[in-house]
Structure 1
Amino acid sequence: MSSTATRAGSTLDHESTSAATALVPPPKLRRRPALVAAAIVAICLGALLAGWAWTATTNTEEVLAARHNIERGAVIEASDLVRVRLTADPALNPMPASDFATVVGQRAALDIASGGLVTPDSISAAVIPTEGSSIVGVALTPAQAPGVALQSGDHVRVIVTPAQGEKPAAGAPAFSEAEVVGVHVVDESGQLVVDLLVPHVDAAGLAGRVATGNVAIVLDSRER
Structure 2
Amino acid sequence: MSVDTERPVDRGEGHTQVPAGQKDRRVAQPPKLRRRPVLVAASIAAVCLGGLLGAFAWTATSDTRSVVAVRSAVERGAVIGREDLMALQVGLDPALTPIPAAQVETLVGQRAAVDMAAGTLVTREQISATVLPPRGFSVVGVALPASLLPGEPLVTGDRVRVVATPGAGGEVVDGATVTIPATVVGLHPDPDTGATVVSVQVPESQAAELAARAATGNVAIVLDSRER
Q: Which structure is larger by alpha-carbon Rg, 1 or 2?
A: 2
Question: TM-score, with normalisation over the residues of structure 2?
Answer: 0.48
